[in-house]
Amino acid sequence: MNNPWVMRIIALLFAILLYLSVNFDSDPLTVKKPGSSLIPPPATDTATVTDIPVTTYFDQENLVVTGVPETVNVTLEGPATPLIKARQYKDFKVYADLRNLSIGTHKIELKYKDLPKELEATINPAIISVSIEEKVTKDFSVDVDFLNRNKIKKGYKPEQPIVNPNSVQITASNEIIKSIDHVKATVDLANAEETVKQESRVTIYDKDGNVLPVEVEPSVVDITVPITSPSKTLTFKIAREGKLPEGISISRIESEPNEVTVFGPMDVLDKLEFINGISVDLSKIKDDTVIDVDVPKPPGVKKVTPEKIKLKIKVEKEEKEVFDNKKIKIVGLGEGRTLEFLDPVSKTLSVQVLGASSIVEAIKASDIELYVNVTDLGEGEHDVKVEVNGPQNITSVLPKDEVKVKITSSS
């Protein structure tokens, strides 16, 4: 044992045993490969992450790229902890780098970045075909499509739509620009009964009706659609209020225009024959006058055009004329009944006519009619109002406003 060579041989044997214990598997007959460890490798797992956006790097100012998918699926493989995190947060990127490619069609490999080094990724699809073309910008006018046109209210109809702006700029490849057939925006007219104003998204179509994914500026336009309602042209009656100053009389009233147009639902218009409510205050008329008066809007009517009319009133010196013994006519006496005048027995009255000299001078006796309306009167004696019918713009004066009559049955 004191011999140094003995100690050296013993040390060599221990070194060989230590070497064998480290590099052998549990099976003593199997030798481990150099560099392997007795510590078992960590467990690995796989997971597929869907809808990962694809970022494309290219000259966006001058070029247009097609063929790059919006999203891809990525299969991840590696230790569970970073794998779960990557699948949950999706904090890695898939990209297509086209910056060094020329105009034309190319097959490229999609790549990924910002993925933990412990993980490996497989992109599906991994290889894509892309087309790189020069960017072209062109102006197109916008057409308007009416939705639910058949559901617009009865009698109403849309007029030419107004689009603002009336054209849009479309940016795409020259090939896509050539394939554009029409540019449209839509407006919903359901239950419309007045001007429709809507914002509408612009959609680009090819000749087959397919939507083209292109860059549009602006992508939304303002559309105004005037809606015209049913209309009807009506005349109007001019009522007279107050009294003219003594010594003058109206010879003529002219209106400009002499008709108005009313707009509204058909069931309302069908019931209208003329417009009431236009009046003139005679107490303010001293000589020839032109006045503007408002046109009243009948109940249920949406609009009246024009809203004002012009009345030209002509006056002259007042003249008088008396027509004697004008026979009183009977109106409304039914069959099987007779009427007897008790006062006046003569069945006549004198009537004084006042008006502008030009009118009075032209009046003939036959132009003046007197009558009584007995439509609603039964048998017996009655005091009945005498009505005067004559030319326009005259005033009539009777010696009495009523006459006494007696109605009997002839059966």
Model confidence at 31, in pLDDT bands (50, 70, 90)?
very low
What is the reported pLDDT for 157? 86
How far apart, in whole angstroms, are the C-alpha atoms of residue 167 and residue 7?
101
Provide the token pair at 153: 């209210």
More confident residue, 114 or 37: 114
How far apart, in whole angstroms, are the C-alpha atoms of residue 46 and residue 77?
4
- Which neighbouring-strand residues pair with 111? 95
Mean pLDDT of the 280-295 span: 88
CB 106 within 8 A of CB 132: yes
Model confidence at 27, in pLDDT bands (50, 70, 90)?
very low
* Cut 0.85: pTM above it: no
Q: Which of 212, 46, 43, 65 is nearest to 124 (CA)?
A: 46
Q: Which residues contact 189 (CB under 8 A, 6 or more apart)?
A: 146, 147, 148, 149, 151, 152, 158, 196, 225, 227
What is the reported pLDDT for 30? 42
Model confidence at 95, in pLDDT bands (50, 70, 90)?
very high
The residue type found at 115 is L
Residues above pLDDT 90, as percent of the chain: 49
Q: Is the pLDDT of residue 134 over 60?
A: yes
What is the reported pLDDT for 152? 85
Q: Is the pLDDT of residue 193 over 90?
A: no
Q: Which of 129, 36, 49, 40 is nearest to 82 (CA)?
A: 49
Strand pairing report for 180-188 and 220-225: unpaired
More confident residue, 12 or 48: 48
Mean pLDDT of the 160-172 span: 92
CA-atom Rg of the chain in angstroms = 51
